[in-house]
Amino acid sequence: MMMIILVLLAETIAASFASYFLKKSANTGEKSKAYILLSPLFYLGGILYVFSALCGIYLLQKLPYAVVLPIGSLTYVWTLFVSRWLLKEKITRRKVLGMAVLITGVILVGVGSTL
């Protein structure tokens, strides 16, 4: 069970950082869009997405689909913190409420799957 939790955390955190790196690689300013392909951040984001997908495949082998996908939405929680920490984006009350609802749903799915 501990391995599943660790893989779940790795999957969701990797997907969150993958999005961050792809966003950073897309900030080309005045440069052409083809310049994105030269950015190491673009490839790092892609590698993290592939890693996240492989973790997801492992989890799908161990848990029901109806559990893995909703729990995978924890990616949005990590993304909130990554955007605040690295991009200095604001965390509004509405975002906090949304995360609370999401976490409640994840807990309900997790508890419901063990009954």
CB half-sphere exposure, 51, CA atoms < 13 A: 19
pTM summary value: 0.84
Q: Which two tokens stand for residue 33?
A: 């869009």
Residue 19 to residue 41: CA distance in whole angstroms: 10
- Tell me the per-residue pLDDT of 44-80, one tens digit each, with 9 for 90 and over: 999 999 999 999 999 999 988 888 888 888 898 999 9
Mean pLDDT confidence for 93-99: 93
Do 32 and 83 form a contact (C-beta atoms < 8 A)? no
Report how far Cα 87 is from the mean position of its chain's Cα atoms: 16
pLDDT band at 113 (very low <50, low <70, confident <90, very high): low
Mean pLDDT confidence for 23-46: 86
Question: How many structural domains are present in the chain?
Answer: 1
Alpha helices by DSSP H, listed for 63-92, are: 65-72, 75-87
- Residue 38's domain spans which residues? 2-114
Percent of the chain clearing pLDDT 90 (strictly above):
61
